[in-house]
Amino acid sequence: SPLTSPLEIGPRKVLFGWKLRDISPLLKDPVAFKALIDLLEDHLRASFPRIDVIAGLDSRGFLIGPSLAQRLGVGFVLIRKKGKLPGPTESISYALEYGKAELEIQSDAVEAGQKVVVVDDLLATGGTMRAACELLVRLKADILECLVVIELKALGGAAKLEAIPFHSLLQYD
């Protein structure tokens, strides 16, 4: 599809008037990348006495989640786009502004009651994060927080998460 995601330049972006936010420069600069993981780690350590698992969203959540999990000394689990994960999975279909998508998690990715932080690069409409949380709820995980680097505030995505705690490092309108 020629349509673009919230971080990419394209006609849809112009149509919706969304500003472009891209974490590539942050990742490319080793000092900035370390500072990013430091900030996320500090936030989580200050917020939660115990975390069991970091769950990351395919694909850009995978750029942040594993580094953070290593810092915290916990495991990392993948919430992937449909059709990528072997073995028994739970899947959920969700609406995007520009169509539909499906996310999956392996059925044994987390145990009931495990304390999970869900990470992604960016929250736009919140649809992706909300779908990920629904998968984790099915596995009876205890979702401590949804954590993103960038929140596009004008899209109101945090409201879509309802009662699930949410935190963003950077906010843009």
**Active-site residue set:** 60, 97
Could you give the string, one character per residue 6-45, with x where binding to ligand PRP holds by CB under 6 A and - elsewhere?
x---------------------------------------
Query: Which residue matches tokens 């916990």?
Result: 74
130 binds Mg ion (CB under 5 A): no
| DSSP H or E run through 30 | helix 30-47
Among Mg ion, ligand PRP, none, what does residue 6 contact (CB within 5–8 Å per kind)? ligand PRP
Restricted to residues 22-61, the positions that interact with Mg ion (CB under 5 A) are 60
Neighbouring CB atoms inside 10 A of 158's CB total 20
Instruction: Return d(Cα 115, Cα 93) in angstroms, integer.
Output: 24
Candidates 68, 117, 127, 149; binder of ligand PRP (CB under 6 A) is 127
Q: Which amino acid is present at 71?
A: R
Tell me the three state secondary structure of residue 10: coil
Q: How far is the CB of 3 from ligand PRP (least distance, A)?
A: 10
| Residue 45: φ, ψ to 5° | -65, -35
User: Which residues form the interface with ligand PRP (CB under 6 A)?
Assistant: 5-6, 57-60, 120-129, 157
